A and B are shown apart, each in its own frame.
Chain A
Amino acid sequence: MTDAGIVIVGGGHAGLSIAEALRRKGYEGRLQLLNAEAGLPYQRPPLSKQFLKGEWDEARLVQRNAGFYTKQRIERLSSAKVISIDPAQHTLSLENGAQLHWQKLALAMGSRLRRLAVPGSDARGVYYLHSLHHALALREAMTKARRIVVIGGGFIGLEAACAFASAGKQVTLLDRADTLLSRSASTPVASYLQQLHSGKGVQIENRARVTEIAVSNAEVSGVRLDDGQFFAADIVLVGIGVEPEVALAEMAGLACSDGVQVDAYCLTSHPDIVAAGDIARFHHPLYNRSVRLESIQNAVEQGKHAAGTLLGMRDEYRAVPWFWSDQYDTKLQIAGLSADHDLEVIRGDEHSGRFSVFCYAQKQLVAVETLNAPADHMIARRLIQAGVSPKPDDAANPDFDLRSLL
């Protein structure tokens, strides 16, 4: 099979990034991009933002138009779900029965939804938000709904709550932790967002343990908590996180542990298979620990490194992670990873809606969360990448020019 070339499984942000980077880096051979979803690869972030709010239509979500793939000689197969991979034979099988050969393979299957597992959770009117397919269904359902309960105070839950509240719905958000965004944001940011949402009429219940989705005539009628509280709902949106889509890789015998394990160059435990995006777990050199990231930045940049590795280049992936979320008129940006920090320093006025939280771990700057302060965010990315930690007093002083440290 001489012209089997490179096959990419998954046509999301990472898969497309790998395909584009291969061509930009000079790969001339055969290139196939397989995607389980129908249609052209599209952007996910707007699904819970502009698209749900009705500001954008479907056409606008498309990343590259069809002509782009033809010009770049990327053979794009949509509705092409891979059901098994045989690394020894260098083959894979599609759901429709077809078999493909590959010389090199890239895994970019992203993640899958974590499902709510309480009685009633498969009733009609329970929605999730991970793909365009979900977003279309939810956007349609919300027009008819008056009362919406959101389960989960992570980014998806909060952004959706924002879209619902902006559309004049009566919104209740149930989160099990003490503070919102407990996995990803510091307390000052979480409390600011809590106030922001409350101010827009979203009723937020922290420490809420959902025990049951109440159902009447096979339709959702509300959500019950362990303390007996009941919240009536016309529809329920569940946003309780995702898990890496590792089943295929596990079956193929690749090393996996909450993600497909890759080295600093995105190579899996098989010498001809790379992985990138939500699916990949790797040792982050800036944080000296194993991480798996769910962000556009990671999908796009890790994808470029994976492409280089497929072509025999060795370029270590060590980018500073960054992430954003837009809620109402507030822009939250996060540079770095804040887990395990032991010091928080606030720059700016915590109540003004424009401030940054500098997070340190053992005196080292590890993350900066900014609200409506984009310049701080951009500088923070550079500081963390360069391993430069401003003195906490300087970070706290808005008149101190952080750029002078670079």
Chain B
Amino acid sequence: MVKITYVEADGRRYEVEAPEGWSLMEAAFQNGVEGIEAECGGACNCATCHVYFDERYIDKVPQPSATEDEMLECTAAERRSNSRLSCQIELTSELDGMVINLPDTQI
């Protein structure tokens, strides 16, 4: 299991545990984290699962694919250097302890 903390734009925190192999979006969604909409359920089609990734862990995940990169250009909140689509990030044991910040809007 991988432990992740999600922090909503208004400061609310969720401590979540999810199995390796799931996506960072699924871990949030199943546990009711509100700041992720994930309208397309993880198909990299909606850009409503945008997160600001933990800078300390950014080397431990692969770079965005071309599709993700294009979709990141279309997020509702501003794109930053650590912006990712959470449905495209697979949880691994290396990511244990991450803190993920959520944007103030997804739509």
Q: Point out residues on A near B: beta carbons under 8 Å.
A: 24, 43, 45-46, 49, 60, 62-65, 67-68, 71-72, 296-297, 300, 324, 326, 331, 333, 372-375, 377-379
Contact = CB atoms under 8 A, between A and B. Distances in A.
Q: Which 8 A-B pairs have the closest CB atoms?
A: A378-B74, A68-B32, A375-B70, A324-B45, A65-B30, A43-B41, A374-B70, A374-B71
Q: Which of B44, B45, B47, B67 has the most CB of A within 10 A?
A: B45
Residue among B31, B43, B67, B74 with the highest chain A CB neighbour number at 10 A: B43
Q: What is the predominant secondary structure among interface residues of chain B facing chain A?
A: loop
A63 B29 contact: yes
B45 A333 contact: yes
A63 B30 contact: yes
B30 A68 contact: yes
7 contacts: A46-B41, A67-B31, A331-B45, A374-B67, A375-B73, A378-B70, A378-B74
Interface residues of B, number: 19
A110 B27 CA distance: 27
Interface of B: 22, 26, 29-32, 34, 39-41, 43-45, 47, 67, 70-71, 73-74
A324 B43 contact: yes
Contacts of A300: 39
A67 B14 CA distance: 13
B43 A326 contact: yes
Contact of B74 (A24, A65, A375): A375
Contacts of A297: 39
Nearest to B48: A300
Given A374-B67, A374-B71, A378-B74, A62 B41 contact: no
